[in-house]
Amino acid sequence: MRRTIVLLATMALTLLVASGVALAAGIGSAGAQSSVVGPGESIQKAVNAAHPGDTIVVRGVHREDVVIRKNGIKLRGDDAVIEAPTRAKADSPCSKVFGPEAICVFGDANLRTEKVNRRIKDVSNSGFTIRGFKQKPNKGFGTIMIDVIGARNATVEGNHVVGNAGAGIGITVEGLNNTIENNDLTDNKDEGVFVKGSRNTTVANNNFTGNAIGIDLQTNINTLIKGNNVTGGFVSIQTEDSRGTKFLNNTMRRYRTQGRRRKRPLTTCVARRIWESDNGMPRRRASGWRRGAGDPHGPSWRSAG
């Protein structure tokens, strides 16, 4: 009998300990979670269901546009491709305003005044191939395939953005402490990277090939352009009204200006208060390639006069 009581007590203690472990595991799982979106499934549904800090892993080919409006979401591509949906299905807030875009990280921002009420924070996007967005932007606007609007501490890294009618990656509307790094931007009809109205942006270790403009900076403060490789295009790097911009260890080659090749390429168009550089780049005034005012993207550079 004594042995039976001891055995029962031991079993009860074991169950109690097990319950405690299960409870602890349950408490832990209430934090950051990870979900997987397979081919043909909706990325947007996974984003809508996610909570701050969650990671969403995407696999396969998807034809949709995605908007992220929650802090801390980590969107990871694992051999993932986003292709353009039909214009009728491009229904994210950003696509409705600008024209079809692949991924939009969208803070509480007024696109008309280019002011932020509250920045979206700590969102990251990586590992996607984005291709085939050939639709024209809405009249008076330009599209950006990975469009980060009104964000703080956002990171865009390790993506391949190729053959689109708009720009590749953009940081606009009072962005703060955002990073674009280790991306491949190829044959996009507008800029590879466009940064406007932002502070403390880092553009580092990206490869640009055949974009109309490699990097375009407008009205920023303290931007770091470091370790990028820019090949081809009409302008390698263009800056305008961007105080405190630093250029470090960038490589630029086979640049064309106004349809003409130069043996010694003009690597940077520069206007007004600008930059420090260790690249020996000539100071030139920007001419022609300028997005319009009164809108975070402005018209395409091709339509600027």
**What is the structure's pLDDT at 234?**
85
Average pLDDT, consecutive stretches of 10 residues, N- to C-terminus, the chain (305 residues): 35 37 36 92 97 98 97 98 90 92 96 92 98 91 96 98 97 98 97 98 97 95 97 89 94 61 40 36 34 55 40
CB 284 within 8 A of CB 129: no
**pLDDT of res. 291:** 52
Looking at residue 294, what is its pLDDT? 52
Of 206, 203, 168, nearest in space to 187 by CA: 168
pTM of the predicted model, to two decimals?
0.79
Per-residue model confidence (pLDDT) at position 289 = 39
Q: Kindly list the structural domains of the chain, giving each domain's residue range(s) and its CATH number in brackets, ordered by start.
A: 34-303 (2.160.20.10)
The strand ranges marked E within 43-186 are 55-63, 66-68, 74-83, 103-106, 108-110, 115-118, 120-121, 124-131, 144-149, 151-152, 155-157, 160-162, 167-172, 179-181, 184-186
Q: What is the pLDDT of residue 59?
A: 98
- Specify the pLDDT at position 118: 97
